[in-house]
Chain A
Amino acid sequence: MIRLAVRTMILLAAIVVLNFLIPRLLPGDPLDALAAGEHESGLAPLSAAARENLRQFYGLDRDLVGQFTHYLSSLARGDLGWSFAKRQPVRDLLAARLPWTLGLVGAAALSAALLGTALGLAAAWWGGRVDHALVSLASSIEAIPDFLIGIGFLLVFAVGLRWFPLSGGRTAFEAGAPAAIDTLWHLTLPYLALTLSSFAIFLLLTRHSTAETTRAPFVAVARAKGLRPRTVALRHVLPNALPPIANLLALRLGAVLSGAIVIERVYGVPGLGLLAFEAIRERDYPVLQSVFLLTGAAVVLATAAVDAILRAVRPYDAR
């Protein structure tokens, strides 16, 4: 357990360093992005003096070591910095975006895991036509890029049938349905698109892991002892097939914090994925650092937690 804790700490330190370096390795700096503009090339006649003023304000006039020590000392104080592009404290930006991402991507990841695992078990257990049909279905869906699923849903259900809104997380400035219902209505399509685009991997992994476990000698022994099929499945097969699925789920849940860049962008959901996408385009170092830090830390901690749980539950394997 100590080794696990040390390893986790080292990984977190590495994430902090990489998060600082990677955005700065991108060509162009935040002021280039500001000058480049968005919808049109930036019209703002940003003068050389104004550029220098901004460079100082954002601390870009310091050398790399100076910027890094400033980043570390700010981080130690819990100060995530000031967004170059949004001109807001990064902490506020993250706090406002996090609920959207946790709600949408978290719910979709859990749904995909449950659905995929259940169907994977069914495929492995029943085999034959059921297995064939489910594996074909999963492979087909897995082959479709998530933006296509998103756009397809959008075209059919929002543009064509008009059952759902076209974009956003809630209706802007209009009194109507209660806020919670309005938000659910807005998030239904992105939720379905995300769930559909990510359940297949759980199905395939569960099916593979379960099928392998089913062929293991201890399962044959359990059957030979005359145990009921259901008991064999739930007591012997599932617990032993679970580790890879739990690890995948941990990775997925950890990555939830990075949002779902494509789906959030297609549907204009103001989550962390959309924020990260915009921050890359805008070379918004403080935002990129913070989103990556949050995501990286979440993945490391989630996998460490799963590791710890599995060691506790199955100490023999851990050795």
Chain B
Amino acid sequence: MHSLRPALLAVLVTLTACQTPAAPPAPPSATAAVSQPRPVATAVQAERVRLAWADAGVLTPFRVSTAGPGGATLISLVYDTLTWKDETGIIPWLATRWTIGPDATTYTFSIAPNVVWHDGRPLTAADVAFTFDTYRQTPYRWMTTEMVARAEATSPSEVTIILKRPFAAFLEDIAGVAPIIPKHVWESVTDPRTYDGPNATIGSGPFVLAEYRPTEGSYRLTANRRYFRGEVVVGEFQSLNIPTDTRLAALQQGRIDLINSADASIVDILRGDARLAIYESDPLSIVRLAVNTERAPLNRREVRQAIMYAIDRATIAEVVTKGAPVVGSAGVIPPSSPWYNPEVRHYPYDPEAARALLRGEQLTIELLADPSYREPELMAPMLQAVGITLVIKRADSATRTALLREGNFQLAEVQHIGVGGDPDFLRRWYAGEEANDFAQGSIFTNAEFDQLAREAAATVDVQQRRAIVNRIQALLAEELPTIVLYHRRFYWAYDRTVFAPVTTWGGLMNGIPFPHNKLAFLRRG
């Protein structure tokens, strides 16, 4: 792999849409105790690594839970994808190289030789073609592959994927996310959504699913000793279902090796424990207000801008996360993303500017939020000071999503990840192509935005695409169809004797700020 890499990266730079693999800037440390993400992490050899998470369902692409990123991440340890991401960008994985046809709808991948499934059968281009054909009938829930028209294996080592339309995010969002499944297992399965055979979880990834305890939601993955991308240096990876309230104590007692928290106070709590370290993820999680731009008074841009000026977002971020604030970019894409445009309009905390925009008008606006969110109470007095009375309406997540789907809201607070990867997510939000809760609240009709978003999706030239994405961010910052409060980090506490985190360029797969990239368990050349 080592010898291949420079050449393959060169191919990437010239041919792919999502390159310019500049390493994201290292996030500033909240305290001296925080370890800096390294450019290239060296995997720690260990008997086992135990992650505290929740049940993520049966580990097949058709039954895994998509309620949160845990399922897709576990899937990525058992299965492989055509491309992958390391610290610097998209890298070859099952595919050793690829070419893109002149109309950017034809991608031809060369499949690595000597890749075997967990049952010892060889992985070939036929498996890849079969996978994409299967996903057209029965989608992989984590990522849509709807733009794939068909896939053809032209030889045992070459597969051509033909898209319905040019899609610049293909290499990152589809080829780098869709798990390749074995044809010999799934071709005889009538309904993959219910299939539960003993071979259902055969993949080609660095770990083999040795045991899943559905009642407890616990997984035991063992190292794949025949892995084609290098030695797996961790004997076992376990994902254990542990209530969030007891995870920290479990880590301190040595019952678990890796936990996460959105609360920076974990840094102080663990300070002085030589065995444990903290890894700050890039701030790829976002806390924002979805705005119903079709309902008065939020259909007026100056009201949305006034809200942006009226909220002291740095203070809110600091109070809630207890860490150094990363004030939200009005252009939505976070500063640590390779696609961030720093030139967008900025909105400092400026109540006077807000009052000037409102011209003395008194408004009442309803905000929909989860019962656990603390931001609404902090925002309310700030908005009251400029003449906006905030009526806070609390609802659980399913209720909130239903209200967003129906457009039955004015403002809605949402917190989510998925903004660090390819910027095509912006198009999908506002084009109504996604059905997750934050995308449901994306109500914004703007011809210029639609045009730019379509152009960006179809432009594979990196520089051209960057220019378009910059314009999209500038437009969003001006129009504010969503009000970004702050970007949020995750604090991963881990046992340094068994694990070393990996910072993935733009987040794991489609922007997941998790440190257990499969590279964290491989000896790299």
Contact = CB atoms under 8 A, between A and B. Distances in A.
Interface in B408-445: 414-418, 425, 428, 432-440
A32 B414 contact: no
Contacts of B403: 27
B216 A46 contact: no
A50 B139 contact: yes
Interface stretch (B122-130, B393-401, B449-457): B393-401
Interface stretch (B11-19, B245-253, B384-392): B245-253
A170 B213 CA distance: 11
A268 B241 contact: yes
A44 B146 CA distance: 14
B434 A37 contact: no
B397 A33 contact: yes
A166 interface: yes
Given A28-B399, A36-B400, A86-B214, A45 B433 contact: yes
B141 A44 contact: yes
Contacts of A173: 211, 218, 220, 236, 238
Contact of B67 (A85, A88, A92, A159): A85
A254 interface: no
Interface in B42-100: 54-55, 57-58, 63-70, 72
Contact of A41 (B143, B218, B414): B414
Interface residues of B, number: 72
A260 B141 CA distance: 33
B397 to A, nearest CB: 4
A86 B66 contact: no
B211 A281 contact: no
A100 B215 CA distance: 10
B184 to A, nearest CB: 23
Contact of A87 (B54, B57, B255, B438): B57
Contacts of A49: 139, 144, 146
Interface in A7-48: 26-29, 31-48
Nearest to B402: A28
A226 B217 CA distance: 64
Interface string A139-154: 0000000000000001
A47 B146 CA distance: 9
Interface residues of A, number: 57
B214 A172 contact: no
A97 B214 CA distance: 10
Nearest to B418: A43
A36 B369 CA distance: 12
Contact of A35 (B432, B436, B511): B436
A286 to B, nearest CB: 13
A262 to B, nearest CB: 12
Contacts of B54: 38-39
Interface in A165-180: 165-170, 172-173
A254 B290 CA distance: 45
A40 B435 contact: no
Contacts of B435: 31, 35, 46-48, 50-51
A41 B67 CA distance: 8
A220 to B, nearest CB: 55
Chain A interface main SS type: loop
A45 B211 contact: no
B193 interface: yes
A133 interface: no
B139 A85 contact: no
B398 A40 contact: no
Contact of A46 (B241, B285, B436): B436
B349 interface: no
B67 A48 contact: no
A37 B242 contact: no
Contact of A38 (B67, B144, B216, B418): B67
Q: Which of B236, B240, B398 has the most CB of A within 10 A?
A: B398
A172 B440 contact: no
A110 to B, nearest CB: 23
Contacts of B400: 28, 36
Q: Which of B58, B142, B397 has the most CB of A within 10 A?
A: B397
A55 to B, nearest CB: 11
Contact of B243 (A29, A34, A51, A266): A266
A252 interface: no
Given A29-B402, A37-B67, A96-B215, A88 B58 contact: yes
Given A87-B57, A268-B246, A43 B398 contact: no
Contacts of A162: 253
B398 A32 contact: yes
A57 interface: yes
A82 interface: yes
B512 interface: yes
Given A172-B240, A270-B216, A27 B399 contact: yes
Given A26-B398, A45-B428, A168-B216, A37 B416 contact: yes
A43 B64 CA distance: 14
Contacts of A37: 66-68, 397, 416, 436-437
A87 B435 CA distance: 19
B211 A32 contact: no
A53 B139 contact: yes
A32 to B, nearest CB: 4
A272 B101 CA distance: 54
B524 interface: no
Nearest to B69: A43
Contacts of A159: 246, 249
Q: Which of A29, A40, A82, A267 has the most CB of B within 10 A?
A: A40
B402 A32 contact: yes
Contact of B213 (A50, A172, A282): A172
A283 interface: yes
Given A32-B398, A167-B250, A42 B143 contact: no
A167 B243 contact: yes
B3 interface: no
B432 A42 contact: no
Given A45-B436, A48-B432, A40 B68 contact: yes
Given A47-B139, A166-B249, A88 B214 contact: yes
B523 interface: no
B510 interface: yes
A40 B415 contact: yes
A282 B398 CA distance: 7
B194 interface: yes
A28 B143 contact: no
B434 A41 contact: no
A204 B400 CA distance: 43
B405 interface: yes
A268 B436 contact: no
A87 B58 contact: yes
A86 B194 CA distance: 11
A44 B417 CA distance: 10
B405 A32 contact: yes
Contact of A47 (B395, B398, B418, B433): B433
Given A41-B415, A41-B416, A96-B215, 8 more contacts: A34-B67, A38-B68, A43-B68, A85-B65, A166-B250, A172-B218, A173-B218, A266-B243
- Lowest 10 A-B CB distances belong to which pairs? A28-B398, A36-B397, A41-B416, A44-B66, A28-B402, A33-B398, A32-B401, A87-B63, A96-B215, A39-B68
Interface of A: 26-29, 31-51, 53, 57, 82, 85-88, 92-93, 96-97, 100, 154, 158-159, 162, 165-170, 172-173, 265-268, 270, 281-283
11 contacts: A32-B398, A35-B437, A36-B400, A36-B401, A37-B66, A37-B437, A39-B69, A46-B434, A100-B215, A166-B249, A166-B253
